[in-house]
Amino acid sequence: MSIVFLVAAIAVFAVLFFVLFGRLDRNNKKSPPADEPPAPEAPQPGKPFMPPAPEASQPGKTFTPPAPEASQPGKTFMPPAPEASQPGKTFTPPAPEASQPGKTFTPPTPEAPQPGKTFTPPAGSGRGGNPGKLLIKSRFYKDYRFTFDFVNDSNIREDYKIDWLLYSLNLGRELETEGYYVRESVKSGLPYFAETEEEFDNFFKLDKPVLRGSVSGMMDICFYYHDVNTATSHPMKRKYWQDSLVAMAESGNFEAQGALCSNYAAAVFSKEQSEEFKARYLGGLMEAANAGDHMAELAVGEFIAPYRSSEKIEWLIKAAQGNLTDACFLLTEAYKSYIEIGDDLNVRAVPLSPSERKKYEDSICSAWYTGAKANNGLTAGLCQWRVAEYYVDGGSPLGQDIETAKKWYKMSYDNGFELSGKALDHLNGK
């Protein structure tokens, strides 16, 4: 009996197995109806995904336009660097990273690499955003609201020395005319804020334009910020220009090397630093000047030769013969010193005789004219303006000639000397 039941159970199990197997086999061989599109190939294992066209026709799928490609099925979206997300564009990260198109370049931590920094900035000194916000948050905002709002809204670069301005205010200083010169500093491209008219004007001396790279002007402004000038001393600003001068000298600029080797350097820097500069630069500078390098001759005549000396005149004449406008300008200053200063280096108690004075005045006129014709250097516009003035006034060896004066005014104005533009307008009746 037990054997009969066992055989019957096996028979039933076999029937059920073949019935089930046959149904599964038929399902596998079943073809889709003619009106039913084939299933998307994306799920097929081992096959790269190719989006069907159009995706909207896939059954049971609501089509949402991709933006861009990130939402395509089967694709894992990783937010790319700028521009990588542009449809159809293969992104290759350029080098350096800062130059990636569409990327706003963030400069290094404000002021850290800049020369002249000796001041530890207050916490949160505008880093990571517009530094003008630090002014808005400062305790001085109520006193200089208009100016601080202007700075903040100007979206100035992050390294604009906001901290230096706050340092000055913390010393108890006040911004002249409620901060007018702070605003003018931004408009004029100063490397930091000027606090007063006097400080602002130091950058725009006609004969020593600091912003155009005047070495002599930089030396003067270093001394302006020196500790001995208690009303204007500023250690960070002073070191900024000291480091700028040293960088110029290291780059091979003879004029900067001459300035650092001058007696003036002992006051602008220190006596010890001045001696170090002389040991480093003076030998090479004099060797170049003696070999006939006109820029070296200019540097020696300007900074090394004694004031009001025949040696100074000789070096400047050599440099002027190399058609250096700045050497010609310095010659005018040297000749003028003989008119005004005596051999004892004091103001002349007894003026020169008319004939002696005229000799120097004619030499000055000649130097102005030679410099104007050379038309180079920082003082070209100044020399050309002065020659135009000679032609307007008459009485010099050049005589009087208004039309020629206009030409010189125009050349001077084209070289950035604004006074000449006003003078030219006056001559033209404007």
Rounded CA-CA distance 300/255 in Å is 8
| Helix intervals (H) in 179-282 | 180-188, 197-201, 215-224, 235-250, 254-261, 265-268, 271-277
Q: Give me the percent of the chain exceeding a pLDDT of 70.
A: 70
DSSP 149: H
- Tens of pLDDT, residue by residue over 57-89, are 344 443 333 333 333 344 333 333 333 333 443
pLDDT, average across residues 229-238: 93
Rounded CA-CA distance 186/110 in Å is 17
pLDDT tier at 29, thresholds 50, 70, 90: very low
pLDDT tier at 3, thresholds 50, 70, 90: low
Whole-number mean pLDDT of the chain? 78
Residue 347: what are its φ and ψ, rounded to 5°?
-60, 135
Q: Distance of CA 146 to CAs 47, 150, 152, 189, Å?
A: 67, 6, 10, 20
Q: Any bridge partners for residue 347, and if so which?
A: 341
Q: Which residue, 327, 330, 329, 340, is CA-closest to 296?
A: 327
pLDDT tier at 255, thresholds 50, 70, 90: very high
Q: Angle 235-250/254-261 helices, nearest 10 degrees?
A: 120
Dihedral of CA atoms 353, 358, 364, 367 in degrees, nearest 10, equals -140
Amino acid at 67: A
Long-range contacts formed by 10-13: CB under 8 A, 24+ apart: none
To which residue do tokens 């601080």 refer? 148
394: left (phi over 0), alpha (psi -120 to 50) or beta: left
Q: Which residue, 161, 128, 132, 131, is CA-closest to 148?
A: 132
pLDDT tier at 243, thresholds 50, 70, 90: very high
236: left (phi over 0), alpha (psi -120 to 50) or beta: alpha
Say whether pLDDT at 111 is over 60: no
Is the whole model's pTM more than 0.75, yes or no?
Answer: no
* Helix, strand, or coil (residue 341): strand
Please state the length of the chain. 430
pLDDT, average across residues 294-306: 97
The pLDDT value recorded for residue 113 is: 31
Residue 341: what are its φ and ψ, rounded to 5°?
-115, 140
- Tens of pLDDT, residue by residue over 265-289, are 999 999 999 999 999 999 999 999 9
pLDDT, average across residues 111-122: 40
Say whether pLDDT at 120 is over 70: no
Least confident of 128-137, 166-175, 382-391: 128-137
Q: Answer whether 218's CB lies under 8 Å from 268's CB.
A: no
The pLDDT value recorded for residue 141 is: 96
Over the Cα atoms of the chain, what is R_g?
Answer: 40
- Tens of pLDDT, residue by residue over 361-381, are 999 999 999 999 999 999 999
Q: Which residue has the higher pLDDT, 3 or 44?
A: 3
Q: What is the number of alpha carbons within 13 Å of residue 392 lying toward its C-beta?
A: 17
Assigned token pair, 357:
């004075």
DSSP string computed for 400-420: --HHHHHHHHHHHHHTT-HHH
Q: Which residue, 237, 258, 284, is CA-closest to 111?
A: 237
pLDDT tier at 131, thresholds 50, 70, 90: confident
Rounded CA-CA distance 126/235 in Å is 21
Q: Which residue has the higher pLDDT, 90 or 340?
A: 340
DSSP string computed for 12-35: HHHHHHHHHHHHHHHHHHPPPPTT
Say whether pLDDT at 25 is over 50: no
Q: Distance of CA 399 to CAs 245, 349, 362, 372, 386, Å?
A: 42, 32, 12, 16, 13
Q: Answer whether 218's CB lies under 8 Å from 260's CB.
A: no
Give the burial string for 79-103 (b: 16+ CB within 10 Å, else e). eeeeeeeeeeeeeeeeeeeeebeee
Q: Which residue, 151, 152, 205, 210, is CA-closest to 181?
A: 151
Q: Answer whether 332's CB lies under 8 Å from 207's CB.
A: no
